[in-house]
Structure 1
Amino acid sequence: MTELNGQVAVVTGAGSGMGRETALLLAGSGATVVIVGRRPDPLEELRAEIEAAGGAAVIDVADISADGAAEALIARVAENVGPIDILVNNAGSSSSVLNPLWLAEDEWRAVIDVNLTAVFLLSRAVLPGMIERGGGTIITVSSLAAVTPNLLGGAAYGAAKAGVRNFMTFLHATFRGDGIRAITVLPGEADTPILDNRARPPRPDERANMVQPVDVARAVHLAATLPPRTVLQEVIVAPTRQRDVSGDLEISRWLGAPEGARPAQEESA
């Protein structure tokens, strides 16, 4: 496929999961993909896979939540690769403590920095060039935690993902007349490495029925490859089968609680 020939796409959090699959699909459609992440080894492996399939990829090792990192990344890409046509805000993280009763302020801020502030800074950095050229696509991977927040994702994650959904809607309303497409993808429970950090990591049989990273990547790819006249403003990608998460929610409720915080009847249950 060649829908994106000559275009430059930046994908954050490209080292694994949804970001990795998204980079593969965009490169397969002809885009030069700048793959961004904190760990060089997975990015090297991804670049090799893209190039073996005849695509083009450029590695940029960066922590987008660090001071000045978002603006510096966009400046590097513009100088060394070319004008950015597509920005995929995919990088994300959740807190280890999920209940706001026990959640430390520094952990709250860290989640907000990656999931919300970095999206704002990266989007702000690409907007002037896109407006000047008369078009561009900004796609942000949010979460259904933005719509129905709970203890699986945690307080900070849900708030951040709701924030980026709101921000993408703002960009769409404000800059659509400039040819800017601002798109939110909202995955439901997905089988990504972030699940390994859950209070109770799901079993393989549970993960098999979840949304897979490539499913989300296909939604991103569709949004990016539609004609510029059309925008998929918001896309929900959810599991067909809904599993019972009541036990997981209860475990998550007490994760990080101080000694003696849990009622006696709960501890003996």
Structure 2
Amino acid sequence: MALLKGKIALVTGAGTGIGRESAILLAREGATVVLTGRRAGPLDEVAKVIVEQGGQAVSRTLDIADRSAIVATVAAIEAELGPIDILVNNAGSASKVLNARFLSEAEWNATLNVNLTAVFSLTQAVLPAMIARGEGTIITVSSLAALNPNLLGGAAYGAAKAGVKNFMGFLHNTYRNQGIRATTILPGETDTPIMNNRARPPLAEERAIMLDAHDVARAVLLCASLQPGAMIPELHICPTRMRDTSADIETARWVGAPDDTPDKPMR
């Protein structure tokens, strides 16, 4: 249908998971997709898939923890391809230590930088051109951890995802009359490579009932491809079935705890 023909879309964390699937779907609808991430290999693989399907994609390595790199990358994209019409803030990470009791300030700051501050920096980089044109779409993948924070994602991750939800609400309330569509997507547990980094990586049968990255990508495409006069401020998407996460939470509770913590269970 080519709903996004002529549009330029920037997707962060595009090498795997939700970012990968979102980039492929956006390209199928005619967008030229700029794939960004820290590793060139996965980005190039996604670009190859898109081109083989008849789409257009370019790869740009980008560390979103580096504000100067964000500014330079957006400027280079605008000079080479034109102004960015769609920004998909997908990249994110969780701290290794999940319990606020043991979490270091450095790990707290690093988690907020990737999940919250980077979204601010990317938005600030693309916003002037969007306002000048009177249209633009900014989609941020937050998490249901923003609404139900716990030890699965950890203290820093939940706080960052709640913060980014608030920031997107600010964008919606402030710039909607200037044609800017700001959408927050809040997925539940999704079977992506980040699950391998959990304190207790989920078993295959547990992953089987999680969301598939393609499900979340379809939500991204929906929000990006609506007619200009319509937008979705916030979208929740979760697995149909709830799983028992008590073992995951108990394992996560003690990551990073010193060996001499008085109440730490014997292992």
What TM-score do you get using the length of structure 1 for normalisation? 0.97
| Deviation per residue, 1:166-187 (Å, 9 max, x gap) | 0000000000000000000000
Pairing of 1:35-184 with structure 2 (within 5 A): 35-184=35-184
| Deviation per residue, 1:70-92 (Å, 9 max, x gap) | 21121111011111100000000
Whole-Å separation in 1 of the counterparts to 2:258 and 2:138: 42
Contact 1:254 1:262 in 2 (8 A): no
Whole-Å separation in 2 of the counterparts to 1:248 and 1:87: 33
Query: Structure 1: which 4+ aligned runs deviate by more than 2 Å?
Result: none
Matched, 1:256 2:256: yes
| Deviation per residue, 1:145-202 (Å, 9 max, x gap) | 0000000000110000001000000000000000000000000011111110111100
Contact 2:200 2:248 in 1 (8 A): yes
Whole-Å separation in 2 of the counterparts to 1:67 and 1:130: 19
Whole-Å separation in 2 of the counterparts to 1:111 and 1:3: 35
Could you tell me how far 1:262 is from its partner in structure 2? Answer: 5.1
| Deviation per residue, 1:87-135 (Å, 9 max, x gap) | 0000000000000111111111111111000000100111110011010
Matched, 1:216 2:225: no
What TM-score do you get using the length of structure 2 for normalisation? 0.98
Whole-Å separation in 1 of the counterparts to 2:263 and 2:125: 49
What letter matches 2:213 in structure 1?
P
Could you tell me how far 1:205 is from its partner in structure 2? Answer: 0.6
Whole-Å separation in 2 of the counterparts to 1:184 and 1:5: 23
Structure 1 stretches of 5 or more lacking a match?
A: none
| Deviation per residue, 1:43-92 (Å, 9 max, x gap) | 11111100000000011111011141221121111011111100000000
Aligned to 1:18: 18
Whole-Å separation in 1 of the counterparts to 2:266 and 2:221: 47
Tell me the C-alpha RMSD between the 2 structures.
0.9
Aligned residues: 267
Helix, strand or coil at the partner of 1:68 = helix
Contact 1:99 1:252 in 2 (8 A): yes
Identity %: 59
Structure 2 stretches of 5 or more lacking a match?
A: none
Contact 2:67 2:118 in 1 (8 A): no
> Structure 2 vs 1, CA of residues 262 and 249 (structure 1 numbering), >3 Å: closer, same or farther?
farther
